[in-house]
Amino acid sequence: MTRLFNDPAAFADEMIEGFVAASRRWVRPVPGGVVRRNRPAKASVAVVIGGGSGHYPAFGGLVGPGLAHGAALGNLFASPSAQQVYSVAKAADTGAGILLTYGNYAGDVLHFDQAQERLIAEGIPCQTVVVTDDVSSAGPDETAKRRGVAGDLVVFKVASAAAEAGHPLSEVARVARLANDRTRSFGVAFTGCTLPGADRPLFTVPAGRMGVGMGIHGEPGIGEQDVPTADQLAELFVATLLRELPEGVTQIAGSRVAVILNGLGSVKYEELFVVYRRVAELFTAVGLEIVDPDVGEFVTSFDMAGASLTLTWLDRELEEFWRAPADTPAYRKAVAPVEPFVDTPGVVIADAVIREATPESRRAAARVVSVLEAVLGVVERNAAELGRIDAVAGDGDHGIGMRRGAGAALDAARDAVSRGAGASTTLVWAADAWADRAGGTSGALWGAALRSVAAACDDITTPTREQVTAGVEAATQAIMRYGKAEIGDKTMVDVLLPFSVALRRGTDDGQSLAESWDRAAAVAQTAAESTADLLPRKGRARPHAEKSLGTPDAGAVSLALITRAVHAVLASEKRATP
């Protein structure tokens, strides 16, 4: 919800005042909105956009060279008045006429039309292009009834570039209409938005569900469905937009398109990039060439959680205007000389060499893969709980990091085995993949641990219980050295050190590896539970130490779980490891 405000009735005015104060390089205030700070030396068509406030960067954030000349800014989610539109247009006018362009909403149409009539009555040439890109708001036979959503940006950009190039008003309006006719958008929402001072959102979506085709103020869409994965949402977006080809587009393959993936307020850029990854794959797969895509927030709705995809089918003229430079507070396109380049060879990793291995060691490498499969399995089953534990006093990413690391280690080990690697090389590949993909402290420590075990083995013999025990001891020392942690610091060391000691005791007593590992895993489990009574003295949890009292350390818990999963593999071996 929107939390920072003074008097809700003054929110829009105070927001605009702050926007202008922060954006003086581009804009200056005028009654009703903002216009470019600097007037062009030569008369050109002035492109005036606008709509209700609450959709930043639409509309004030899109004023500046290469984009709009002025923006009329209404109250929250309310059309600017005819007087506001007129005032902004008069301030932006340089003598070559005015193009008014905005999203297709009843209030906006009423007030912009009144302003246009007034301007024409004063002898100022003025035309209007209304944006109608939202495919969910009306069928293909009623496109004039469609809402204007994030496709606004394409129309504004193309029209403004045409004006910047010196085209007359009739041509600027023509290319703006062409851009609108070739633009389609489709959006979804997971939650509604809450206006300043309101005690509830404008609309709600049931938990676990997604509104399909909803407008940017919560206008009805075409239904609901379960919240999809990022890839599934991308597939819904792309399939919906490809169902309807605009007039003049006869085939998909070979076409060039502009693409905008727009966040509506609460969906973060990182999430949008995950979705766009799949969007780009799907468009490329059907033969579309994407030109200068935009991913981010362009038409928002306060804290609404949602996203939309916009697709514009370009021709040579539209592409030229789409790619033209722009410099505004919230949107920039730069044109820089492209330097010739050549592909550089991939980085060669020294350890990516498969050393000669005996059949015995290759069989042991296959068992390493089985162990890593068990590790990934137990991590995946407990990832959410590990994240919850970590979030008590940390950043909550332990489960995610462990999944990434274990998954990467398993993939690398499988790859190594498929190339004929022995046990030591397979462990090295797994170690480096874990450290690389998991990142963070945990990734580095697990990478060091696996490398220590690898160093205790070789690619000639089957690892003995003595080698494995020595490897675990070396891993313990490496983790304590790199992590600078000791017993009592509430880290994985509180589990690893007693586990290592117990494993050594069983090995020295002549137990099989499976037997000694079983007893050591029981020690690890007890040690992990005991970390609940400790206060963290290392890492991110240290400043919030008191919060973690009563909760075990996430790294200690994950290590204990892994020791038990590894034992299950050892115990299932038909022949006990010597």
Report the alpha-carbon distance of residue 81 to residue 83 in Å, rounded: 5
Number of H helices, E strands in the chain: 17, 15
What pairing do the DSSP bridges indicate for beta strands 33-36 and 70-76?
Answer: antiparallel
Task: Give the SS3 label for residue 310.
Answer: strand
Report the alpha-carbon distance of residue 238 to residue 387 in Å, rounded: 33
- Where in the sequence numbering do the catalytic residues fall? 217
Task: Give the SS3 label for residue 530.
Answer: helix
CA dihedral for 498, 500, 503, 504, sign (positive or negative): negative
User: How is residue 490 annotated by DSSP?
Assistant: S
DSSP characters over 256-287: EEEEEEEE-SSS-HHHHHHHHHHHHHHHHHTT
Helical (H) or strand (E) element with 103: strand 98-103
Task: Give the SS3 label for residue 472.
Answer: helix
Contacts of 205 (CB under 8 A, 6+ apart): 189, 190, 191, 192, 211, 224
Task: Give the residue among 505, 545, 547, 496 at the shortest CA–CA distance from 525.
Answer: 496
Q: Give the largest CA-CA distance in the chain.
A: 102
Report the alpha-carbon distance of residue 297 to residue 283 in Å, rounded: 21
Contacts of 164 (CB under 8 A, 6+ apart): 44, 65, 66, 324
CB 180 within 8 A of CB 134: no
Task: Give the residue among 406, 374, 361, 431 at the shortest CA–CA distance from 569.
Answer: 374
Report the alpha-carbon distance of residue 576 to residue 578 in Å, rounded: 6
Length of the chain: 578
Task: Give the residue among 33, 127, 49 at the shortest CA–CA distance from 83.
Answer: 33
